[in-house]
Amino acid sequence: MDATARSDLLAALPAAYPIIDAGFLRKSGLEAMAMARLVAGSGIRIAQYRHKGDFDRAAFKEARGVIAELRRAGVCCIVNDRADIAMVTGADGVHVGQEDIPPAEVRRLVGPQLLLGYSTHSPEQAADEQCDWADYVAIGPVFSTSSKQDPDPVVGLGGVAAARRATSKPLVAIGGITLGNCRDVLEAGADSVAAISAVTPGTLAAWAALRR
């Protein structure tokens, strides 16, 4: 992603930010590559590849395939947790959490070219100086979620609003978000809503049409 494209994306972060979670999809009977092809043809403009657990050769091959499929379609592709995988697969960015390498160190590793997202779970974390190194900040879980093991406490719509006041960065909300409640989350102050289980082959068109 060149500097102009990156600037344009951050200036108007797409409202829908689907997460292609390899493990979750496999349990649902769908492979990550199949979902990537569907996302690539849906009109979605940003998506994240998420693989929890050991990153063996098979996982790397899958990640590389997913990223290639998304990039061919002009979808901004982010890799969850792993800056090294983002760099070697040619992804557009990496997203890290509170337990990962701090954003300041990730930025030194990936340089200015890659987008950097950072997960927070409270307004206080959203205001932390580590967020200064990120291009966008995520807040959640907004609602209860079954897509993540040992989720952090729910922040609710009030937490989204408080995080919006705490940071001037583009704000992505995540956790229990569906097509039925996403409008409330956007109105609470999120620029974008990320979803895992609510993103299915049958709902992709509706997610792609979502606007703030």
Residue span of the structural domain in which 23 resides: 3-206
Residue 59 belongs to some domain of the structure: yes
Position 167 pLDDT exceeds 70 = yes
Count: domains in the chain: 1
CATH code at 78? 3.20.20.70
List all residues 6 or more positions away from 19 whose beta carbon is below 8 Å from its beta carbon. 47, 48, 50, 80, 174, 194, 195, 196, 199
Q: Calculate mean pLDDT across residues 8-26.
A: 95
Residue 106 belongs to some domain of the structure: yes
Q: Which residues are catalytic?
A: 50, 119, 148
- CB 20, CB 36: distance < 8 Å: yes
What percentage of the chain has pLDDT greater than the value 90? 89
Cα–Cα dist 52/45, whole Å:
23
pTM > 0.85: yes or no: yes
Position 149 pLDDT exceeds 70 = no
**Neighbour count for residue 61 (Cβ, 10 Å):** 12
Residue 211 belongs to some domain of the structure: no
